Structure 1
Amino acid sequence: MQPQEVKARLESRIDDCEFHIQGEGCNFQVTAISERFEGLTPVKRQQLIYAALGDEIASGELHAVSIRTYTPEQWAQNTAVTSR
């Protein structure tokens, strides 16, 4: 799989979420930014992403997926810190 394929599948399955995908083959890093993460625990946030990729993980098409999730406010704070 290519990063753009992973992104397209996530975008078609989770509304109102911005995705940044890195990786190749069957190993990917997913960064997801959405208001829907507000009030959710980190585990619940990751479960949402894993559920959207469940078929690909079960088939072995995706093997290793690391997930980072942010609300838009958290993302803005994170990018402000990393751009210094």
Structure 2
Amino acid sequence: MEPEAVANLIRAGLPGAEVTVTGDGAHFEAVVVSDAFDGLTPIKKQRLVMDTVKPQIASGELHALSIKALTPAQAAG
């Protein structure tokens, strides 16, 4: 998979999210900023993002995804 394809899957699952994905085709790192994360625990934020790529992980198309999930306030610092 290409980084942009991973980013598009996350954007489709979390409309309005700001998504940046880097990676080498097998291992990716995603930075996701979304209002949907407001009030959620870190684990729940991770699950929300992972749910957007679950079929690709199950099929082996996507091997590893590291996630940094932030609310807009957290991203602003």
Q: TM-score range by the shorter chain?
A: over 0.9
Residue correspondence of structure 1 range 1-84 to structure 2 within 5 A = 1-77=1-77
Paired with 1:16 and 1:25, the residues of 2 have a C-alpha distance of 25
Paired with 1:5 and 1:15, the residues of 2 have a C-alpha distance of 15
Letter of the structure 2 residue corresponding to residue 28 of structure 1: F
Q: Gapped runs of 5+ residues in structure 2?
A: none
Between the two proteins, what is the percent identity of the paired residues? 39
- Name the larger-Rg structure: 1
Paired with 2:57 and 2:37, the residues of 1 have a C-alpha distance of 22
SS at match of 2:43: helix
Aligned length: 77
Match of 1:81 in 2: none
Q: Runs (4+) of structure 1 moved beyond 2 Å?
A: none
Letter of the structure 2 residue corresponding to residue 54 of structure 1: K
Q: Gapped runs of 5+ residues in structure 1?
A: 78-84
SS at match of 1:7: helix
Letter of the structure 2 residue corresponding to residue 67 of structure 1: I
